[in-house]
Structure 1
Amino acid sequence: MRVKSIAIIGGGTAGWLTANHLAVELRAETDVTITVIESPEIGIIGVGEGTVPHIRKSLMKFGIPEAELLATCDTTFKKGIKFVDWMTPSASNPGNSYYHPFSSPYPGGTDVTALYLKNSGSMHFSDVAETPVLADAMKSPKKVSSAQYEGVVNYAYHFNAVKFGQLLATNAKEKLRVKHKSATIVDAKLNDRGEVAYLITREGEQLHYDFYVDCSGFHSLIMGKVLNIPFIDKSAQILTDTALAVQIPTAAETEIPPYTLAKAHTAGWMWDIPLTNRRGVGFVYSSAHMTEDVAIQNLSKYLQLDTDKFSPRKIPMRMGYREKFWCKNVVALGLAQGFVEPLEATSIFVTDFSAELFARNFSVEKETMSVAADYCNKVVSYTWERVMDFVQMHYCISDRQDSDFWRANTNEAKRSDILSERLAMWKINPPKKSDFFSRFDLFDVDNFLFVLYGMKYQTRPRNMTNYEEDYFKREIENIKISSRKLSGELLGHREWLEKFLAAYAQSLRN
């Protein structure tokens, strides 16, 4: 039997990303229809406004011009994340900040980690890449002449999540034949094989499809409530459980940082994401270590606004993921599948990865579905476990001991066996590519190197020959020369965006 109709329950970023991935992969299956069912009553979370570079590949695959993204979604460039106050200030790190850039940690293709370890008291690991210097200088990652989706350094985006969902929806409907239905799904009924037979709307209408994608957010209406797939709770590893989100308008002349700011506090951290016309600010904290009133007061202090001048949106966060992401004729994606706090722009990244994995392994022949489901479930479970490890590592290797929260993270929080093993290995030798034996480690050696040594992780230095040391120093000097050269050539971030938007508006008038 063939699958001829697919329903995606829920729109937003997850639903429309999935619709685009599926529609591209099933282009040749002209008898298959894809329908996104969006509720007019249920809003989207809409705070996942940071991405990683992988999103560029997906947008190119969908056929969405970069110019359209930049012009319609209040989009800015993101070269990485600047972490502030994740360590105790010291003589070697008085500013107490470091970058996790979207750059290679291997200047000229060379692993110079040994040079850093020998000179960690006087050298910053970020010296291995141009991006931190360009980010501090507020430079665009692209030249005026850069082709779409290409830059001088690697980059991702910040954008208005609601507008991004609308962009994805327009593309899916107008270019990829995806259908759209407005309805609020309240339940689903199973057949005698335990598959979903049909959906039930608030008005009692029955909607019959062959396959269902649950993008209903934290409700996890189908996968969680109808199929009762267990939720694997990770709150013992990631202790934060609440976020207060607010949007702050910015003045037109304000410079736009080309990075996400992640600033730690005594019970968690804050994100600060710049768009063209506003900032998205979120205060992430552990409710076991800070009350909501104190959190609001801290957010007020950071924003330099009285508490009566802003109204944050409270978002409870449950860390973990579904035991299965694919069960019979249902797949869960986005928040319906799992969640970890947005420290490394994990939400859209895992959703994009999982949607692509599902779409590429989906077959319209029902008899082959169980094989694909078993394989994809293994992949997604592994992916979630390693993402949890990477996020937790930011906390557990900190030397902060100034609050119960930080002491709990470093001394009490449960760690996976793999994270414990890797951290023990990296006390002896720095991370290497072969430590990450699966291509489904979404964060690999490049990411771990920048975070580990941005946070001054203590790895045993190794001896170098004089030739090696001189060679490594030349590579670092080349990076410094390149950084100075690019700083002079690249436009400021806001200047580049304003020139682009003016040119784009002119092209529409012509």
Structure 2
Amino acid sequence: MDIKRVVIVGGGTAGWLAANHLGKAALNNELLSVTLIESPDIPTIGVGEGTVPAIRQSLQSFGISETEFIKRCDVTFKQSIKFANWLDKEVHGQHNFYHHLFDMPSSLGKELTQAWLSKKGRTYAETISPQHAVCEAYKGPKTISDAEYKGHLGYAYHLNAAKFAKLLGENAQERFNVQHISANVQEVILGEDGEIKSLVTDSVGTLDFDFYIDCSGFASLLIDKALKVPFVDKAEQLFVDKAITVQVPTDPASAIPPFTIATAHQAGWIWDIALSNRRGVGFVYSSKYMDDETAVCKLDHYLGGKLSEHSYRTIPMKVGYRERFWEKNCVALGLAQGFLEPLEATSILLTDFSAGFLANRFPTSAAQLDGMRQQFNQVMGYAWERVVDFIKLHYCLSDRIDSQFWIDNGDPGTMSDELSKRLSLWSSFIPNREDFFSKFEVFDLENYLYVLYGMNLPTQVALSRASDESNARMHSDKIARIADQLVNELPNHRELLEKINRYGLQEV
């Protein structure tokens, strides 16, 4: 049987990202049609509203203008995640922080890391990249004269999730001929072989398709409710299971941080994301270590006693992923695939990654399903496990002992065997490219370096030659000079956004 009719159940960011990836792939197969069924009653969750640099490549490949994207989705630039108070305040100061930058570290990363470990003068991120200074100066990553999707430094975006989903939806329909149906799926009908046969909707009747994409969010209508694929719970590794979210209006003249702020507290952390006209704030915590009333009080304190001025909601977070992501003739993407706390913008990252991976080799016949299903599940299972490790890294490296939450996070029994092996290796050797043998690790060497040494991982310092030390010192001085130059030349973040909204960027 040929696969000709594909349906995506669920809209939002996940559904419409998948629609663009699959719709673009379908342009090369005139027999393949893509339909998206979206409930008119379910709002976009929009937890976090942050992305990582890989999204730029996807948006450009979809043919979306960066100028239009910035104007329509309240976009601000994101060059980093600034981690505040993730280390012991008594040892590292009341306002300790480090940056997980989005710019690639210097090509002399190993030599500079070794030199930094020997002396630890400036912060690690300052030592290996000029972007640290740019972020702290609240500068943009590019100028108004730079072409779309190009910049002086690596960057991603903060965005309005509802507006982003709308833009993606329009693009998928107009550019890639994706059909849109507004309806609620009331029943999923399975065939005798256990595959999904059809969907029963409230407004357009029963619809038959050949292949199904589950983007129905936490409801997981297809992969869970219909196909009964088990959920792999990761609560023993990642403790947080709730978030209180609120949107706070901002002064239109105030400076806009070009980074996400992630501030640790006694039982979790707080995200703070600035758009051009508001902040999205989320108080993430573990209900095992903090009750809901205390969490609300803590968030109110963070907002200067003004939480009651705004509406807020509490979101339960079941942390983990599906045991299988592709079952029978159905693939789960987005929140239907799994969920981890939004510490490193993992939701959009994994959705974009897995949707692109599926679209690049989309099956055209039922005979291809078994082999492709096996590969997809293997790749995505590995990717999810390594993302769990990367998130856990932020907690287990902390030297905070001011609450049981942080003490328990340091217990080696709450880490995977792979993470334990890597940390043991990195206590003796600086990480290198060969430690990340799979291209399906969505967080790579550079990401680990920023976090490992931002949190002061003690790595044994190897003996070095005087020439290596001199070379590292010269290169470090060069990075400092480049940083000064960029801080002087790059525009203030808000100023750049105002110019883009007024004049636009140069088209590629």
TM-score range, shorter-chain basis?
over 0.9
| 1:415, distance to aligned residue in structure 2 (A) | 1.1
Q: Distance in 1 between matches of 2:307 and 2:109?
A: 50
Q: 1:125 — aligned with what?
A: 124
Paired residues of 1:214 and 1:221 also in contact (CA < 8 A): yes
Q: Distance in 2 between matches of 1:136 and 1:73?
A: 25
Deviations 1:248-286 (A, max 9, x none): 111111000000000000000000001011000000000
Q: 1:415 — aligned with what?
A: 415
1:187 aligns to 2:184 (yes or no) = no
Paired residues of 1:48 and 1:348 also in contact (CA < 8 A): no
| 1:386 aligned counterpart, secondary structure | helix
Q: Distance in 2 between matches of 1:198 and 1:87?
A: 52
Which amino acid is the alignment partner of residue 486 of structure 1?
Answer: L
| 1:305, distance to aligned residue in structure 2 (A) | 3.2
Q: 2:385 — aligned with what?
A: 385
Q: Percent identity?
A: 46
Which amino acid is the alignment partner of residue 479 of structure 2?
Answer: I
Which amino acid is the alignment partner of residue 303 of structure 1?
Answer: L
Q: Distance in 1 between matches of 2:305 and 2:175?
A: 45
Q: 2:405 — aligned with what?
A: 405
Paired residues of 1:187 and 1:222 also in contact (CA < 8 A): no
1:152 aligns to 2:147 (yes or no) = no
Q: TM-score, normalised by structure 2?
A: 0.97
| 1:96, distance to aligned residue in structure 2 (A) | 0.9
| 2:439 aligned counterpart, secondary structure | coil
Q: 2:46 — aligned with what?
A: 46
Paired residues of 2:38 and 2:180 also in contact (CA < 8 A): yes
Question: Structure 1: where are the runs of 5+ without partners?
Answer: none
Q: 1:56 — aligned with what?
A: 56
Paired residues of 2:44 and 2:161 also in contact (CA < 8 A): no
Judge which range, 201-210 or 462-471, deviates more: 201-210
Paired residues of 1:243 and 1:316 also in contact (CA < 8 A): yes
Paired residues of 2:108 and 2:472 also in contact (CA < 8 A): no
Paired residues of 2:433 and 2:445 also in contact (CA < 8 A): yes
| 2:407 aligned counterpart, secondary structure | helix
Q: TM-score, normalised by structure 1?
A: 0.97
**CA 259–450 in structure 1, closer or farther in 2 if over 3 Å, else same:** same
1:85 aligns to 2:120 (yes or no) = no
Q: 1:466 — aligned with what?
A: 466
Judge which range, 75-84 or 43-52, deviates more: 43-52
Judge which range, 360-369 or 374-383, deviates more: 360-369
Q: Distance in 1 between matches of 2:62 and 2:448?
A: 30
Q: 1:231 — aligned with what?
A: 231
Which amino acid is the alignment partner of residue 340 of structure 1?
Answer: L
Deviations 1:448-474 (A, max 9, x none): 111010001111111111000000011
Q: Distance in 2 between matches of 1:481 and 1:309?
A: 45
Correspondences of 1:200-279 after superposition (within 5 Å): 200-202=200-202, 205-279=205-279
| 1:307, distance to aligned residue in structure 2 (A) | 4.0
Paired residues of 2:242 and 2:315 also in contact (CA < 8 A): yes
Paired residues of 1:362 and 1:369 also in contact (CA < 8 A): no
Q: 1:477 — aligned with what?
A: 477
Paired residues of 2:109 and 2:128 also in contact (CA < 8 A): no
Ranges of 4+ aligned residues in structure 1 off by more than 4 Å: 90-94, 107-110
| 1:327, distance to aligned residue in structure 2 (A) | 1.1
Paired residues of 2:110 and 2:430 also in contact (CA < 8 A): no
Q: Distance in 1 between matches of 2:291 and 2:8?
A: 38
Which amino acid is the alignment partner of residue 89 of structure 1?
Answer: K
| 1:112 aligned counterpart, secondary structure | helix
1:66 aligns to 2:77 (yes or no) = no
| 1:262 aligned counterpart, secondary structure | strand
| 2:427 aligned counterpart, secondary structure | helix
Q: Distance in 1 between matches of 2:454 and 2:282?
A: 23
| 1:410, distance to aligned residue in structure 2 (A) | 1.0
Paired residues of 1:107 and 1:479 also in contact (CA < 8 A): no
Question: Structure 2: where are the runs of 5+ without partners?
Answer: none
| 1:42 aligned counterpart, secondary structure | coil
Paired residues of 1:83 and 1:99 also in contact (CA < 8 A): yes
Q: 2:174 — aligned with what?
A: 174
Which amino acid is the alignment partner of residue 173 of structure 1?
Answer: Q
Paired residues of 2:5 and 2:210 also in contact (CA < 8 A): yes
Q: 1:434 — aligned with what?
A: 434
| 1:411, distance to aligned residue in structure 2 (A) | 2.2
Which amino acid is the alignment partner of residue 149 of structure 1?
Answer: Y
Paired residues of 1:35 and 1:180 also in contact (CA < 8 A): yes
Paired residues of 1:90 and 1:96 also in contact (CA < 8 A): no
> What is the aligned-residue RMSD (CA, Å)?
1.5
Q: How many correspondences in the alignment? A: 505
**CA 349–217 in structure 1, closer or farther in 2 if over 3 Å, else same:** same
| 1:308, distance to aligned residue in structure 2 (A) | 2.4
Paired residues of 1:107 and 1:475 also in contact (CA < 8 A): no
Deviations 1:17-51 (A, max 9, x none): 00000011121211211111000112221124100
Q: Distance in 2 between matches of 1:316 and 1:92?
A: 33
Deviations 1:210-249 (A, max 9, x none): 1110000011111011100011110100000000111111
